[in-house]
Chains A and B, each alone.
Chain A
Amino acid sequence: AQSVTQPDIHITVSEGASLELRCNYSYGATPYLFWYVQSPGQGLQLLLKYFSGDTLVQGIKGFEAEFKRSQSSFNLRKPSVHWSDAAEYFCAVAGRGSSNTGKLIFGQGTTLQVKP
């Protein structure tokens, strides 16, 4: 079955510290991979995506993610966290190929808290 796992439900980091949020997926073939951020009561904003090519992808707000096929992982990183980064982060996948309709399968989410 297709699934996305975010092992860390809640992470707290100090402002200025580095951040890594983990994401593992289970899928028949390498899917499209995404990271979304959701502030309280808000919609989902795309941070970055991986379709093909370079396995290190850059996104908005200084985020990057690395796709590792051997580990079925797509971890999100940021070198220096800002207080405004506190939010819920979702990893998501979508299938490839003409038979896939683009529906997203989300992980459970990781809540990021930033300490001053």
Chain B
Amino acid sequence: AAGVIQSPRHLIKEKRETATLKCYPIPRHDTVYWYQQGPGQDPQFLISFYEKMQSDKGSIPDRFSAQQFSDYHSELNMSSLELGDSALYFCASSLGTVYNEQFFGPGTRLTVL
């Protein structure tokens, strides 16, 4: 069965650089969630989209932005990277507005040097 795809899997950036993380949800899933998991931490909700519209927003820095495109894939754009942005970034997808199970991708490990 198709799963959530995230690219790249690993990314190394310097401070103050920008990064773009991509998420391709399971086919026919219309909802995407982004989470950030710092070292030894629990995943923290960043932002979500339903049908290409932002549906919820969590503890996402103003330096980050995200969107969902017409094919339902999503991109998380991160600018002015800081050392503290080093983390595992997960994307999850689900189907519909009534809560359904979120399927998680393998994550993108971002390292900021």
Name A's interface SS: loop
**Docked pose: A105 CA to B33 CA in angstroms:** 12
Cβ contact within 8 Å between A102 and B94: yes
Interface string of B75-104 (1 = CB under 8 A from A): 000000000000000101010010111111
A98 on the interface (CB 8 Å rule)?
A: yes
Contact with B along A76-104 (1 / 0, CB 8 A): 00000000000000100010101011111
Closest residue on chain A to residue B103 by CB atoms: A46
Residue of B nearest to A94 (CB): B99
Closest Cβ–Cβ distance, residue A38 to chain B (whole Å): 9
Q: Is the CB of B97 within 8 A of A98?
A: yes
> How many residues on the A side are at the interface (Cβ–Cβ under 8 A)?
23
B: residues with CB less than 8 A from A are 4, 31, 33, 35, 41-45, 48, 50, 55-56, 58, 90, 92, 94, 97, 99-107, 109
- CA gap between A8 and B77 in the complex, in Å: 35
CB distance from B98 to the nearest CB of A (A): 8
Q: When the two chains form their complex, are residues B90 and A44 in contact, meaning their CB atoms are under 8 A apart?
A: yes
Q: Can you report 28 A-B residue pairs in the complex whose CB atoms are below 8 A from each other?
A: A32-B99, A43-B4, A43-B106, A44-B90, A44-B92, A44-B104, A45-B104, A46-B103, A49-B101, A96-B99, A98-B97, A100-B99, A101-B48, A101-B56, A102-B31, A102-B33, A102-B48, A102-B100, A103-B33, A103-B56, A104-B45, A104-B102, A105-B45, A106-B42, A106-B43, A106-B44, A108-B41, A109-B42
